[in-house]
Each structure stands twice: as C-alpha cells, then as structure tokens.
Amino acid sequence: GFLIYLIINCTHLLVLGEGVRRLHVSSAFKAKVAMSRFEPGTSISYEKLHENIDIVRKRLNRPLTLSEKIVYGHLDDPVGQDIARGRTYLRLRPDRVAMQDATAQMAMLQFISSGLPKVAVPSTIHCDHLIEAQIGGVEDLKRAKEVNQEVYNFLATAGAKYGVGFWKPGSGIIHQIILENYAYPGVLLIGTDSHTPNGGGLGSICIGVGGADAVDVMAGIPWELKCPNVIGVKLTGSLSGWTSPKDVILKVAGILTVKGGTGAIVEYHGPGVDSISCTGMATICNMGAEIGATTSVFPYNHRMKTYLNKTGRADIAALADEHKDDLIPDKGCKYDQVIEINLSELKPHINGPFTPDLAHPVSEIGAVAEKNGWPLEVKVGLIGSCTNSSYEDMGRAASLAKQALDKGLKCKAAFTVTPGSEQIRATIERDGFSKILRDVGGVVLANACGPCIGQWDRKDVKKGEKNTIVTSYNRNFTSRNDANPATHAFVTSPEIVTAMAIAGTLKFDPETDYLTAANGEKFKLEPPNGDELPARDFDPGQDTYQHPPAESGSVMVDVSPTSTRLQLLEPFDKWNGKDLEDLQVLIKVKGKCTTDHISAAGPWLKFRGHLDNISNNMLIGAINIENDAVNKIKNRLTGEYGGVPDVARHYKANGLSWVVVGDDNYGEGSSREHAALEPRHLGGRVILVKSFARIHETNLKKQGMLPLTFADPTDYDKIRPDDKISITGLATFAPGKPLKGVVKHGDGSQDIITLNHTFNENQVEWFHAGSALNRMKELQ
C-alpha cells in the first residue's frame, strides 16, 4: 500500500494506523502511516480518554482499575452517568465495530433494515467462518469461494454501500486481524463474536456482542453495558519450560468455571505480566470467554510496545508511552475478587472433555482418562485457531516437530495447522515453520476458523465412534468440532498438542516421558522454544482487504427473494399491551444448553443470512428432560412427537405462543444472535431459566423476547413438560420489579412463582416495540 506522511503541529489530532485513531499529540510529531488497508474515520483521542477518566475518578473519589479507566473513559456522559459496579447500565461510545462473516450477514441485514445510509463508526467485516477444512488451505479456500459466492458478494457490496471495510476470505481469523491492525491500548471495540476479548492482549477493551448491538453502534447510538465488576488476577513469577500462556487461562477456567466470570472484566496485573508476550496475553484474554467474562485485559507494557512496533504501529506505541498512566491500573485500586497465580509454579494443563473448565495437569490426564474410560489414543492433534495461531505459537510447535524429525519420527496422530492470518501464514512459510510442520505429518489449513467452529469435513471416524482429539482451541462442547457427540475433545497449548500428536496418546507427559527414535534410542523432547516475533519484518502476504469507496451511490446490494442463503428481514410484532397468557412449554431443557445447542454451527453456518432456514436448527441439540432425548419433544396439540423446530412451527401456525424452560448459564458460549432470533421467529415469547450467560440474555432482549430467571432456582423443578405458563404484571413492567408466573399443570393445579429480570428502562422499550431495531426506527 501507499505511504502517507502527516506532520502535525502542537496539539492537533493525528490520524494513525488504520486511519481511525484520533490521538492527542503534545508536540510536533511526524508520522509515517500505512493507509492501504484502512477506511477513513475517527475515534476517541487519548486526550478525551484522559479527560473522561479524570472526571470519573473525581466523582468516585477512589483509584480506578485499568478496566474502569478504559470503559468509563468511553462514557457518553461521564458527568451524569450513574456508575455502580454490577448494578447500573452504562451508555458507552465504542471506537470500532468488527464482524465475522457468519454473524455479519444478520448484522448487515439489520443495518439495512434501519434505513441509515452509512455506518457512524469505523467497522469491518472478516471472512473467516465459512471456509470448511477438508483437504488443505489452497483447495479449501478455492472451494469456499465457490460455495459461498452469494454470501461473500452480499457482504462485499453491503460493506461498500454502507462504508464498512471488507477482509476477503483467506485474510485470516477476525481476532488475529484485529490484533495485527485495529487493537491498541485504550481502545473500546465491540465485535460480533464471543472471542473478541482477544484484543485485551494489546491493552484494549474488546467485547463480544450480538449483531443488534453492533447495529446500535454502527448507527451512532450509545451502546449499553451493565457496569462490570472487576476480577483481578495477580501474576507473579515467570513462565518457562513447557508452561505457556494457555496454561494461565486453563488454570483460571478451572478456578472460576464456565460462569465464574459472568458480569465481570478479568484484569491481569502483577510482576508476572512482563514474562508473557503480547500474543500470549491475547491467548489468555481470548479464552476468558470460556468463563463467561465480559472481557479480559492486560496493562500496557513493553511487550505490547514491541508488538506495535513490529506490526507497523510505532507511532501508536510512542503515544501510548506518553499516556501510559491512563493505560495501567491506579495504585491502590480495588478488585471485587482477586486470584493469585505464581507462573513459576504453574504446570502445563489440559482441559476437557466436553467443557472448557474441567482442568487437569498434563501429568495427570492419562490416569484420569483411564479411570473415566476416555479413549487414550489421540486420533487428531489440531493447532491454530483464533486462540493460538501467532508467530510464537507456530515457532514453538515447529521446534518440537524439528526434534521429532531429527530422530526420524513423524506424528502418530493426524495433525492440522491453522495459521491465524495471511500475514502469519506468509511469514511462517518464509521462515520455514510450515515446511517443518508439514514434514512431521501436518496439513496446513486455510487462514480461517475451520475445525474450531465445526467447519471440518472429518473422515477418519464415523459419527458415534468414541475417540479423542487434542486441540489448541478454546471450546470443546459436545459435537462442536466435528459434529460427533462421541468425540472427546481436549483443550491445551499448541506445544502440548504437538507433543501428544507425535506420541499419539493422552498418557504422554513431555516433561517426564520418553519417545523412541527411529534407531531405537530413547529420548525426551526438549522444552519448546520460539521467537516472540520474527527477526525480520512480517511478510504481509497477499493483499486481501477491500477499502469502501468514498462514493457508494451506485453500489447495489442484491438479495434474491428465492435465495436459500440470504433473506431480508421483516419486523417482529409489537407487544399487544396484555399479559402473556397460557404459553405452552415447548421444551424443558436438562443441563448444559449452550448457543451450540440452541443454534448449531458447522453445516448450519451457510444459513446464517436466512432466518427462516436456519431456524430449522433451533434447540436441536438440547436435551429434553421428559425423555433424555435430543430434538424429540411432544406436540401438545397433536399428541405426536417431533423435532423441536417442527413443533414450534406447528404451534406458531395455530396461534400458540410458547416458552422454553432451562437450567443454569443458559446460552453459554458463542455470541450468535441466531439463538435469540430463531425462538422469536418461530413464535417464542419467553425464555425462563435459572441463570443466563451475558451475551445471550442481551441478544434475547434485543429481539423482543422476555429472558426471565426463577427468583427461587428450585422452582425449575415445579415446571412440567406439558405445563402452560402465564406471565403477569406486564402492564407495569419496569426495572427492578419482578414479574409473576402462573404455572398451570395438566391436572388442573397451579403454582405461582416469582420471576426476575434485568431489564432497564431502554430495554423495556425494546420489549414494547417488539425489538431494539423496531425501537430504533420509532426514534428516527
């Protein structure tokens, strides 16, 4: 791309990096700025950030955590905003929006429905989710472009029409692209993917949201977030040997569990932070989504400065140095909870199967697996993904592969490698890592999510065949990676994945166990090593970015009315002003119900832009408490059993609204708002559970649904699968005021239960209007 030199005098504002950062410069400053991949626009300045922080600190009269500085620094009204951790809703002005292609379809369809001509903040679309892993990177990318041509064309033209940058298929995974290009210390970014917190490795507050939230920000409307609590994780000591940054978050996940971070930002601090690379910090923040955290963040330090310099943003690093006091926590700040981890004592971990918070030291997993009957043979080892696909990750994995090759060994397990971006792919190819990983038996896949999100055309086992895979990914819910419920998926570091792929068994502890060389010699793998960043500059690879044109009046965005992939949206109906009477229980869900259970990914990704078609996967993975079966519920109108979406459609056609009853942490996992859109589209009005995951609860509110929780969790046991439930008190529906549920049983008896909600005044208006999008139109 072309280079532009900007000379700024005195306190003028400087457009930096991607052309979106408006940062305060205290003296004359000459900046060499690469502008080829970045759309014009402006965002919050460090001067404005400091001004807001100063206002809030004086108001609260106490030291602030780093999380508070960045979040409160982006308040729409820092003077008048009511601020109370865990209680009030904040109105914020994010700097940027990022959308991956699976969620961008619905987000852009909603933005088109808003009637607005252009996005109000810098925004980008990243094509990473729709590329299926099958043969190898080149072949799989070519096939994806053919299969998804209609969707890619829609996203490219919609981006051009409405001022959104478009990263073409093959560019890389959204979170790696953000880290390389858009994240910087102090920025507030929202992304339509639950692992958006990856950017916290660069001192950013990056939060995963649903597409409707993204539409609010793109429309220039203040974005609402419940004021987060702050969990402090104090790191001491330093990482060494086989222990990696991944082990930090695997340990934290074991401590906090999949819902322990709900409603909180996890803020890492302490002297141990400096022993972790910038991309290692990103790994830790990325997987904070697995504990339900709003996001995670690290304080600005020299490791971030080095990364900024190496990725062409030395000018931003210089400004961050000037404003460092606003990019680290205040001395004496208070956390709501503190966890301490001594990195010098931390051992390699592996978590799973079936949940990312079941933590085990690698030294113990073999015995635990034997005791539980988990398959010991590792069928496939998979490294990469948005969590672990940095230059450092690939280098450390290659260092182990090289040791095996030198001894005449190759992987006993199948082995796949997913580069995080085109820049990473090109650089590890240039520096020889890719060849080493291929030589040891690896297949280098496309720069995309691939098997991590179920985009894996797996052929080596049959569905239902019990087997074990080991990945460096972030999630390992049942069926997530390969649609096989019998696959035992374990999450660990790329280094441990590589070692276990070479050994072919879960019983291999590389710290203590020996391998047998081709000549019969016994040897141990030396601890992995790898450079944090390339000695030479990164190789950018192919240019895969489409800049939105300055004039877009002639750009056409076509959605065929006969398309099976894309469908323009119709507004949902408004609330009729009455209580919700006699809602039929569609399904009472037993146990864990993630967004993968509510709206599966994998083969269903192709319908993410077509609400009616994708609704055919609604709750097909949830367990029905009535019969312990999946996708088999009783139709109370016909007496026959059918699939969940089929019964829901039958109820809707007959004017019968319905309710879903669920357990704890309902909607855990991905940010996909389809899990909220589908129930609304098929006639659902209420989701009643013990507790919600944060993003899913907000997504339901945005679509005009009522997400309610049992005031007494034991009331879950009172609900029978054939019940009807009435929700009363809606005429006076208001923040902090519980609603009543009248549970009507088939035998004529009733239970009256209290139902809590977390709606604020604006969100109540969403319910009244039928959706947040409807409300937005009312206010235009």
- Both tokens of 201, joined, read 């490795």
- Both tokens of 378, joined, read 């590792």
Based on the fold, state whether residues 119 and 265 are members of the same structural domain: yes
DSSP result, 501-534: HHHTBTT--TTT--EE-TTS-EE-PPPP---SS-
CB 255 within 8 A of CB 339: yes
Does 173 fall in a domain?
yes
Based on the fold, state whether residues 472 and 355 are members of the same structural domain: yes
Based on the fold, state whether residues 597 and 448 are members of the same structural domain: no
Residue 9, pLDDT score: 28
- Both tokens of 175, joined, read 């979170």
3-state secondary structure of 354: strand
Does 2 fall in a domain?
no
Q: Of 476, 507, 523, which one is at a domain's C-terminal end? A: 523
Does 514 fall in a domain?
yes
Instruction: Indicate the pairing of strand 515-516 with strand 522-523.
Output: antiparallel
Q: Of 342, 361, 395, which one is at a domain's C-terminal end? A: 342
Q: Which residues pair with 249 in a beta bridge?
A: none
Give the C-alpha separation, 458 to 543, whole Å: 30
Does 296 fall in a domain?
yes
CB atoms within 10 A of CB 689: 24
Q: Of 314, 342, 370, which one is at a domain's C-terminal end? A: 342
- Both tokens of 539, joined, read 């190789």
Based on the fold, state whether residues 311 and 355 are members of the same structural domain: no
Angle formed at CA 403 by CA 402 and CA 406, multiple of 5 degrees: 85
Based on the fold, state whether residues 59 and 178 are members of the same structural domain: yes
How large is the angle between the packed helices 694-702 and 211-218, nearest 10 degrees?
Answer: 70
Residue 44, pLDDT score: 55
Does 37 fall in a domain?
no
Region of residue 539 (phi > 0: left; psi between -120 and 50: alpha; otherwise: beta): beta
Residue 2, pLDDT score: 28
CATH number at residue 733: 3.20.19.10
CB 490 within 8 A of CB 353: yes
Radius of gyration of the chain (CA): 25
Which residue, 266, 196, 222, is CA-closest to 760? 222
Give the C-alpha separation, 178 to 202, whole Å: 10
Peptide bond preceding 40: is omega within 30 degrees of 0, i.e. cis? no
Which residue, 108, 111, 64, is CA-closest to 85? 64
CB burial of 368-396 (b: ≥16 within 10 Å; e: otherwise) equals ebeeeebbeebbbbbbbbbbbbbbbbbbb
Give the C-alpha separation, 768 to 751, whole Å: 27
List the chain residues with pLDDT less than 70. Answer: 1-44
CB burial of 259-294 (b: ≥16 within 10 Å; e: otherwise) equals bbbbbbbbbbbbebbebbbbbbbbbbbbbbbbbbbb
Residue 45, pLDDT score: 84
Based on the fold, state whether residues 280 and 362 are members of the same structural domain: no
Give the C-alpha separation, 702 to 767, whole Å: 8
DSSP result, 61-75: TS---HHHHHHHTTB
Supply the residues annotated as catalytic.
128-129, 193, 475, 670, 672
Based on the fold, state whether residues 381 and 511 are members of the same structural domain: yes
DSSP result, 682-727: TTEEEEEES-B-HHHHHHHHHTT-EEEEESSGGGGGG--TT-EEEE
Residue numbers of the domain that contains 697? 580-779
Give the C-alpha separation, 626 to 634, whole Å: 9
Does 14 fall in a domain?
no
Does 550 fall in a domain?
no
Residue 14, pLDDT score: 32
Based on the fold, state whether residues 326 and 467 are members of the same structural domain: no
Q: Which residues pair with 34 in a beta bridge?
A: 3
How remote is the C-alpha of 88 from its chain's centroid?
A: 24
CB atoms within 10 A of CB 522: 9
Give the C-alpha separation, 202 to 179, whole Å: 7
Give the C-alpha separation, 291 to 358, whole Å: 11
Give the C-alpha separation, 391 to 165, whole Å: 25
DSSP result, 71-94: HHTTBS-TTT----TTTSEEEE--
3-state secondary structure of 582: strand
Q: Which residues pair with 564 in a beta bridge?
A: none
pTM assigned to the model: 0.90
Based on the fold, state whether residues 602 and 668 are members of the same structural domain: yes
CATH number at residue 282: 3.30.499.10
Q: What stretches of 492-611 adopt beta strand conformation (E)?
A: 515-516, 522-523, 545-546, 580-588
Residue 38, pLDDT score: 43
Based on the fold, state whether residues 327 and 358 are members of the same structural domain: no
Based on the fold, state whether residues 309 and 418 are members of the same structural domain: no
Give the C-alpha separation, 388 to 620, whole Å: 30
Residue 39, pLDDT score: 42
The count of domains in the chain is 3
CA atoms within 13 A on the CB side of 651: 31
What's the residue count for the chain?
780
DSSP result, 412-480: SSEEEEE-SBHHHHHHHHHTTHHHHHHHTTEEE--SS-GGGGT-B---SS-TT--EEEEESSS--BTTT
Residue 236, phi then psi, degrees to nearest 5:
-125, 170
Based on the fold, state whether residues 210 and 166 are members of the same structural domain: yes
Does 34 fall in a domain?
no
